[in-house]
Structure 1
Amino acid sequence: MAVERFHIHISDEILDDLKYRLHHIRWPDQLEDSDWDRGTELNYLKSLVSYWRDQYDWRTQESQLNRFSQFCCNIDGIDVHFVHERGKGPNPLPIILTHGWPDSYLRYQKIIPLLTDPVSHGGDPEDSFDVIVPSLPGFGFSSRPDHSGVNNFRVSEMWAKLMTKELGYKKFAAAGGDIGSGVTRYLASNHPELLFGIHLTDIGIIRNLLTSHEQVTLSEEELQYKKNALEWISLEGGYMSLQSTRPQTLAYGLSDSPVGLAGWIIEKFRAWSDCNGNLRQIFSEDELITHIMVYWLTNTIGSSTRMYYENSHSLPPLGYIEVPTGIALFPADILLPPKEWAVRNLNITRWTSMARGGHFTAMEEPELLAQEIRAFYKPFRAKNKN
């Protein structure tokens, strides 16, 4: 199908079913002396669910989300939902922003107006962007793949088609974090001619450093990364092991219980953000619940976790990336990469250590990230002839 307008409208039937489930919860117990060390803390989750059941208003959130210009088109048999907001400036640079898990396209909700309309936020009109934010296949309002093989590489090919064939851009910028970092790097590796540059907020878990037995050839920073990564996987990586091996088994419980889904997602927002153990320092209840709702209302938690399986079982190797690359590292993010490795594998032209923030970069510190993206892409503005 051609590109069509998209409008979010969840049926009353789905909302009524959710309301029933939130009124009929069977809670587990929790050890008296445990906090978050064994997983999502019971009293916090009860408080959040109480707000969800008694105060949260999906229709208000739905109306706010529908203020964005949203579209849908079919690419390689998958219906792709995306936001497409035009820049307010003399020569907007097109940029595609790719999210990760357990967030959604809402990761970039706050940063969209900062990039499209810099003047209204204290910026230069010359720094405006056309912003495209798709939902990954199997996430949110994009359709769920019905076959295997939809991994970071496959999505990058879909994004190339979206930007050039469907939206008509000859050349564009790309940025992302988490799964979005992997998709963006494959896009750069396989279609360098389409990109001005790429901007990343992480490089994911660097597997070849973890499996390297040549300790002598690794730098001190790389050896420390390897040690930190192995410890992190041992202590925090249970979700990743399960989603990479048995996502279908996990899907039954998370698709059937909104509280189970909330518990699975919320723990990651707490552990990976710069919140010092207090989610309310960074996120409002409405913000967290709306992220959970995007998974619940579309029944995509199962299909989203399958991305881990596909990336673990079917990704081709990724070579050196020649496209100019900017990296912004947020101090509370997961496993900050060693610079030596990054320089050997990517054409790093800007490397910035950010003042604060964690894994959910554009949600936590949208102004800082917007400034950094503007600065990185400024030298490419003269080449923008879309």
Structure 2
Amino acid sequence: MSNFVGRHLEEMADIRSTRKCKLVLLCSMLSLMILLGYSVVHVINQQPNFAIINVICSVILAANLWHLNKHRCLNYSDLVLTGVLMFQGLMLLLYSEQFTDRLMWIFPIMAGVILINEFRLGLLFSCVFCMLTLAATLFTDALFNHSQPFQERFLFSLVTICVICNTASYYYSKMVNYIQSLYREGIEDLAYLDQLTGLANRWSFEQWATQKLAEVSHRSTTTALVFLDIDDFKEINDTFGHDVGDQVLQHFSQRLKNNIRTKNRKTNTHDYSIARFAGDEFVILLYDVRSKQDLDGILNRICHLFRDSDSSLNRVSNLTLSVGAALYPQDADNLPELTRCADKAMYAAKHNGKNQFQYYGDSKQCALKELAVSNNDNLRLIKNNGTANQSYT
């Protein structure tokens, strides 16, 4: 079951990664074509140094594209592209006197840097570039040959495009994270909860309860595993149909959740302490109960959960429960054995008249008394038969 959840969460993460791969791939292809085009222009204009720089950047982007096509995963391809774009932006900025007509390429370069990275990285890179641009303007000859109004408009436009792109990146990241959280909750509900009642299923309960028993093993409070069974539930299904039976289970589950604590007192988080075990059988792990008397009160309250049924169950009357409880670690020191003991106690409650709760220890003593009485009756019968045979002889 855990593999099921993990596999689907990985699929959701892969969808996000795939979209990012496509964006990096598109930006890499566009950057490669533009750099190759300007390399040719530099060769024609007899600017070999700039042509060599663009060719080197083109080779890096080509290798990046090959890696993306082969592996279909980023593996730092986004950072490689970011490095090339940032370098090209700085080159345009520092040599703006020679490339006045190309200075506006800085805007799409910064937009690409922000959008191909996660929000925090994009924000970091854009802030660093804006600071470098401001420093280059103040302490170097970058933009020096331009008028003061042009420099101010350029810096203002750069900051504006960074703010807009980072805002878009932030809300996109927030939206994707929200969708992933909803997806995760849906998958976890499907894997860990019973679809009819909304309670924990047997698998998730056993996983959680095993850890919880180890956690409370050294506490002085009372811990008990409680097994519940709706009396004569088969007759309800046979008489009223399975739809009404499902309503009974849903109604009972809701009353269980409303009357039994399902939150950890320390962390205030929901746990899997109530579960639908199978059919009309439910199981509860009660922990951190102050005393045996408090546990008696809880079990008595559980036995009377059907007393005030809502209008949807008017067709079904006299619903009762048989409840069995096994104490940890007095009756058993592990979950499978504790479950077996609670199950036996529940059947003892049914045998003793239903609509009641029974502890495993009490049911065990009753069983021993019944066995002793049965043995005495058998011995008495043997003696009587022996006496009768002697008399006959």
Greater per-residue helix proportion: 2
Greater per-residue strand proportion: 1
Rg: which structure is higher? 2
Which structure would you say has the larger RCO, counting Cα contacts within 8 Å and 6 or more residues apart?
Answer: 1
What TM-score results when the alignment is normalised by the length of structure 2? 0.20
